[in-house]
Structure 1
Amino acid sequence: MATVKFKGGDVQTNGQLPAVGSQAPEFTLVGSGLQEIHLSDYKGKRVVLNIFPSLDTGTCAASVRKFNKWVSEKENVVVICVSKDLPFAQSRFCGAEGLENVITASDFRYNTFATDYGVLLTDGPLKGLISRSVVAIDENGKVIYTELVPEIVDEPNYDITAF
């Protein structure tokens, strides 16, 4: 279990992010076309997981915009933006914003990503949603960078030097 803050108050997650150097846990998420998305779909690519509570907040929306720009300047890298928002809302947001470089994925159907990655909020006003964090994974599925953002309302670090 990890402790983060939401507007200054302590909230708990169900666990810890995967350790740097460990194999990233496989996942099944739901994409914008309601198709399943798996980490293994991106074998051979570097993957950044931009994990957040909901696109309906300014900070989450800003992170998607910034990672969309960031990944447009990278080669062999995909950014998967993970929340519990429905795929319809994720698609509507990216369509309205003209964001075409990120992949949106929802944990609404299986509810296993948040628990397997240790980011499920277990108390506080956002209980049941996902804590803001970033996980970077290399071409072989190894975790090479993690950040559990200490204050959920703050943006993550976009300077992922591993890439």
Structure 2
Amino acid sequence: MANITFKGNPVTLLGQEVKVGDTAPDFTVLANDLSPVTLASSKGSVRLVSVVPSIDTGVCDAQTRRFNEAAASLENVKILTVSVDLPFAQKRWCGSNGIEAVQTLSDHRDLSFGEAFGVAIKELRLLARAVFVIDSSDKVTYVEYVSEATDHPNYEGAIEAAKAAK
């Protein structure tokens, strides 16, 4: 399992670590309108999944904005940002920040995504910062568990992996 810290303190991640080559595990999260979203909801597209602890904080804000900007150069790629923020807060944040190319999804209800991808922080009931690229046939082609949850991910590595995925 990945060794993750949050503000320098080690945390316990729930679930199984996902690795390149794995079939992406299924999950159920909520869209901003409270409708359920699963892995199958975006089948047939490459998915860049950006995982953030809370969208309304500095690094999470910057991460979501960066992937929103990258969307223009990514064909047939859906960008999903997953956090445990309530869907209403995600919708408000996107609206007030002009975020239109990223779909924000809430894992607040039962940590389905967090446990399926091994990013649920037991001590804080937040998700650890991570980025996954899943190809159109549901194979994981890129994984980054950011070792310190308050640090930025490798944006360019994730974007290049999404461009290369089929």
TM-score by length of 1: 0.93
- The code of the aligned residue for 2:109 comes to R
2-structure distance, mates of 1:16, 1:133: 14
1:3-152 superposed matches below 5 A: 3-123=3-123, 127-152=124-149
- Bigger Cα displacement from structure 2, 33-42 vs 94-103: 33-42
Task: Give the unaligned 5+ runs of structure 1.
Answer: none
1-structure distance, mates of 2:77, 2:90: 20
The answer on whether the counterparts of 2:15 and 2:114 sit within 8 Å (CA) in structure 1 is no
Shift, 1:56, TM fit: 2.2
| TM-superposition CA deviations, 1:26-48 (whole Å, max 9, x none) | 11110011111111111110001
The answer on whether the counterparts of 1:59 and 1:153 sit within 8 Å (CA) in structure 2 is yes
The answer on whether the counterparts of 1:48 and 1:134 sit within 8 Å (CA) in structure 2 is yes
- The code of the aligned residue for 1:66 comes to R
The answer on whether the counterparts of 1:2 and 1:12 sit within 8 Å (CA) in structure 2 is no
2-structure distance, mates of 1:86, 1:138: 27
| TM-superposition CA deviations, 1:49-107 (whole Å, max 9, x none) | 10011012101111110010011211000110000000000000000011100000001
The answer on whether the counterparts of 2:48 and 2:131 sit within 8 Å (CA) in structure 1 is yes
The answer on whether the counterparts of 1:17 and 1:146 sit within 8 Å (CA) in structure 2 is no
- The code of the aligned residue for 2:135 comes to D
The answer on whether the counterparts of 1:2 and 1:15 sit within 8 Å (CA) in structure 2 is no
2-structure distance, mates of 1:74, 1:113: 24
SS at match of 2:126: coil
Larger relative helix fraction = 2
SS at match of 1:3: coil
SS at match of 2:94: helix
The answer on whether the counterparts of 1:121 and 1:129 sit within 8 Å (CA) in structure 2 is yes
SS at match of 2:81: strand
1-structure distance, mates of 2:85, 2:72: 24
The answer on whether the counterparts of 1:7 and 1:152 sit within 8 Å (CA) in structure 2 is yes
Shift, 1:15, TM fit: 4.0
Identity level (%): 43
SS at match of 1:156: coil
Confirm or deny that 1:158 pairs with 2:150: no
Give the aligned CA root-mean-square deviation in angstroms: 1.2
2-structure distance, mates of 1:157, 1:16: 22
